[in-house]
Amino acid sequence: MIWSIEREDRVDLKRKPILWGLDKDELFFGCFVLFVGIVKGGPELDIIPPAMSKLLLIIGILPMCIKILRTSYTKNEWFIIIFMGLLAIISTLFTHRLGLMLVIVMILGAKNMKVSRILNMFLTLQVVTFLIAVIPQVIKLALGGTVNGILYENRDIYGVVEVTDQFRISLGYGHPNALQQNVCFLSILLICCMSHEIKKWQIALITVFNLSFYFLTYSNTGLTIYLLFLLFYFIWRYNKTFINMIGKYSPYIFILLTAVNILIVACFTGSTWMMKLDSIMVGRLHWAHEFMMSLGFSFWGRDIAEANIGYEYLDNGYVFLLLRYGVIIFVLYIIAVYKLLSYLYRKNQLLAIIVIGVVHVYFIMENFMLAGLYNLTYIYLAPALYEVSYFRKDG
């Protein structure tokens, strides 16, 4: 049962459910997740017109503002709120992007929200965006039309397999990778929401669902991340000792992953092994290096479009955050995730550590770190920030 709240340790807030088992504050938060997520959460939907996007953004933000105003914060929390608010304002002024602002609004509004509720709201968002993208395309196809996609005349798969004339279907998304990303996160969230009750045959069906869309999108990263999550999920279920060791060292593994990623990009050369690695990553290392050399480092970031390199896509999430939002936001993000992983290990939230881990592997290939409603890391930040335990007791 997706909306189950059994086995959760939660402060009794004496709330009164008013719709779908949700109270007023949870509905306000849910409106933000759903409407803002459709517009600004992550992979953009091609079929939503600009005017509708602005309306959905307003519909989502207003209830969240009400929720924040209704919430009581301690003096220490107000200090954090003011600090994060100033960061968001300064970042928005320099970058002209709402990414960090929306992330901070979501974190502020997440106080007193149970993790299971947030997980299910994120899952609902993935389902809704999936249906918005897929249904019109299916109807179009049934009426004799064609589906959206991209034809690749030549393409390397992980630098090993070469294919020609590969048509990759994107349905209502801007790119096939975005569709597979949606399928990947939908599957991960579904397994997390049902983690204590899910059967092996249900996991098998979810895996078939992923594979089916892979043969439409041919998005290697999305499928690989799902399979990586699945591997660690089964280790979590059947080998607690090993996964506990992974959880213990996860903060240091994360720092190592970040450092190695940035160093390889910064020191990228034409050496044989680097070219092979770049081929596996479909040119992402080379272009990330070009962006880094062209833009350099700054405190508050620079517009990626200023890079005069003849290419416009910076897919490496770590490098994108560093260059687009600047050194200050990058360092604070890394510190926050490091502290969060340490906190989750102390609370025995090993499955949450797995989710955060695979998402940050994903960021090597995609750049949605500050897409607040698609970076699943932010689901777990509120308990750490407000020091309130409302996780499941058994992780």
Q: Write phi, then psi, for 255 (nearest 5 degrees).
A: -60, -40
Q: What is d(CA 117, CA 114) in angstroms, rounded to the nearest whole number? A: 5
Sequence letter at residue 309:
I
Q: Looking at residue 41, what is its pLDDT?
A: 54
Q: Looking at residue 259, what is its pLDDT?
A: 98
Scan for tokens 């997520």, then name that residue: 37
pLDDT in tens, the chain (395 residues): 333 333 343 444 456 666 667 888 889 999 999 988 888 755 555 556 777 888 888 899 999 999 999 998 988 889 888 999 999 999 999 998 888 999 999 999 998 888 888 999 999 999 998 998 888 888 888 888 787 778 775 666 655 566 767 888 888 788 899 899 999 999 999 999 998 889 999 999 999 999 999 999 999 999 999 999 999 999 999 999 999 999 999 999 999 999 999 999 999 988 899 999 998 898 999 999 999 999 999 999 999 989 989 888 899 999 999 999 999 999 999 999 999 999 999 999 999 999 999 999 999 999 999 888 889 999 898 778 887 555 555 44
Radius of gyration for the alpha carbons in the chain, expressed in angstroms and rounded? 21
**3-class secondary structure, 337:** helix
Q: Looking at residue 355, what is its pLDDT?
A: 97
pTM: 0.90
Q: Write phi, then psi, for 195 (nearest 5 degrees).
A: -60, -30
Q: Looking at residue 151, what is its pLDDT?
A: 75
Contacts of 216 (CB under 8 A, 6+ apart): 168, 169, 171, 176, 179
- C-alpha 2: how far from chain center: 20
Q: Looking at residue 45, what is its pLDDT?
A: 57
Q: Looking at residue 148, what is its pLDDT?
A: 76
Domain boundaries, the chain: 131-238
The candidate with the shortest Cα–Cα distance to 365, out of 307, 310, 315, 294, is 315
The candidate with the shortest Cα–Cα distance to 390, out of 8, 3, 6, 4, is 8
